[in-house]
């Protein structure tokens, strides 16, 4: 994780916080939208509408040309793992398992990100990353009441949620390749365009069961918030952040998402803030801060020294 300075605050840390606030706002806004729209239709509107927005802005202002034909295949791969695949896995899994399981299993994204990055030799494992992730996991476990976790009854649904986490982790790691060659807006535009075609066979039928005339303005407003705040903004910003930091740094901030989602759900939907939330909030922030300030306090060198001395 990068040090805190004027450059990294605006290029890395602030964008990553914006991403988590946006993704954290997605559950309460989606809950409102689900009162009027089927789940698969929301997936369709999220991806297709975002593709149209990205494409419109891209062709009006950017128009960066793709350098080689083979790069289109990379964009397709990103679309499969980063948007289409992970969204379909997540919603399918959520329909088969319970919210507690899904909430816990989504936090495996940073773990998968580190594993994939290390396997592909994109990043190095460190003591600080491991410790920071473990601390953050414990905070998330407290937040969603790990004692009620079940991994037997809805096993297939759990596997889909794990697959969703793995897919997004792969996207975070492999997307760095094209982000070194293209502007982040170019990458995310092509990713969503390809993803919109990929999800059509799974979502288009859901559009014909909606009674559009009976939906009030508040229903359309909630869907609009899902599209803009929960999709367009976070995907745009996270792609920008990936150009300026490691994929594991992006992933570790995802531990803030359950906390932010709970707070916003309390404000928007009326759910109560509990002592568990306050305790877990502190633990999650400690885990993220531990990784964030690792280089500042030289934790890696300190821990390696302690291990060498203990071996002696």
Select the more confidently predicted residue: 196 or 268.
196
Quick one: pLDDT at residue 271? 61
Across 110-117, average pLDDT = 79
Select the more confidently predicted residue: 261 or 216.
216
Across 266-271, average pLDDT = 72
Quick one: pLDDT at residue 72? 95
Quick one: pLDDT at residue 103? 63
CA distance from start to end of the chain = 31
Q: Which residue has the tokens 């633990």?
A: 283
Quick one: pLDDT at residue 157? 78
Quick one: pLDDT at residue 128? 76
Which residues, in sequence order, are CB contacts of 29 under 8 Å at separation 6+? 222, 225, 226, 229, 230, 268
Quick one: pLDDT at residue 207? 94
Quick one: pLDDT at residue 293? 58
Across 294-309, average pLDDT = 53
Across 262-275, average pLDDT = 72
Percent of the chain with pLDDT over 70: 72
121 sits in the region (left: phi over 0; alpha: psi -120 to 50; else beta) called left
User: Mind listing the pLDDT tens digit for each residue in 142-151?
Assistant: 765 655 555 5
SS3 content of the chain, % helix, strand, coil (to 5): 80, 0, 20
> For the whole model, what pTM was predicted?
0.75
User: Mind listing the pLDDT tens digit for each residue in 57-103?
Assistant: 888 887 788 889 999 999 999 999 999 998 888 777 766 776 556 66
Which residues in 41-50 are b (16+ Cβ under 10 Å) and which e?
bbbbbbbbbb
CA 255-258-261 angle, to 5 degrees, is 135
Quick one: pLDDT at residue 215? 94
Select the more confidently predicted residue: 283 or 247.
283
CA 254 to CA 100: how far, in whole Å?
A: 17
- Extract the tokens encoding 155: 């096993």
Quick one: pLDDT at residue 80? 96
The pLDDT mean for the chain works out to 78
Question: Residue 204: which pLDDT band, with cuts at 50, 70 and 90?
Answer: very high
Question: Residue 113: which pLDDT band, with cuts at 50, 70 and 90?
Answer: confident
CA 236 to CA 271: how far, in whole Å?
A: 29
Quick one: pLDDT at residue 89? 87
**Rg for the chain (alpha carbons), in Å?**
20
User: Mind listing the pLDDT tens digit for each residue in 151-203?
Assistant: 555 667 778 888 888 998 899 889 888 888 988 889 989 999 999 999 999 99
Single out the residue of 164, 151, 39 nearest to residue 101, CA to CA: 151
């Amino acid at each position: 994780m990068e040090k805190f300075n004027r450059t990294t605050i605006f290029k890395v840390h602030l964008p990553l916080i914006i991403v988590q606030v946006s993704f954290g706002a997605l559950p309460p806004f989606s809950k409102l939208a689900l009162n009027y729209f089927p789940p698969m239709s929301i997936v369709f509107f999220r991806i297709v509408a975002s593709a149209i927005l990205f494409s419109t802005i891209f062709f009006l202002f950017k128009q960066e040309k793709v350098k080689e034909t083979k790069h289109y295949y990379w964009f397709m791969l990103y679309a499969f793992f980063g948007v289409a695949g992970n969204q379909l896995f997540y919603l399918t899994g959520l329909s088969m398992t319970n919210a507690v399981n899904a909430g816990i299993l989504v936090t495996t994204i940073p773990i998968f990100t580190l594993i994939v990055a290390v396997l592909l030799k994109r990043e190095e494992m460190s003591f600080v990353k491991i410790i920071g992730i473990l601390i953050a996991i414990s905070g998330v476990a407290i937040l969603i009441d790990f004692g009620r976790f079940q991994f037997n009854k809805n096993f297939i649904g759990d596997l889909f949620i794990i697959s969703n986490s793995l897919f997004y982790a792969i996207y975070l790691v492999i997307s760095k390749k094209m982000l070194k060659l293209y502007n982040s807006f170019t990458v995310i535009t092509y990713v969503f365009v390809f993803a919109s075609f990929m999800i059509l066979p799974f979502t288009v039928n859901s559009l014909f069961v909606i009674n559009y005339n009976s939906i009030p303005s508040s229903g359309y407003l909630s869907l609009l918030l899902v599209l803009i705040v929960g999709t367009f903004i976070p995907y745009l910003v996270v792609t920008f952040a990936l150009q300026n930091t490691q994929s594991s740094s992006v992933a570790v901030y995802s531990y803030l998402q359950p906390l932010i989602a709970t707070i916003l759900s309390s404000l928007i939907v009326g759910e109560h803030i509990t002592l568990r939330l306050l305790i877990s909030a502190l633990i999650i922030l400690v885990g993220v801060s531990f990784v964030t300030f690792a280089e500042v306090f030289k934790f890696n060198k300190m821990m390696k020294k302690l291990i060498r001395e203990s071996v002696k």
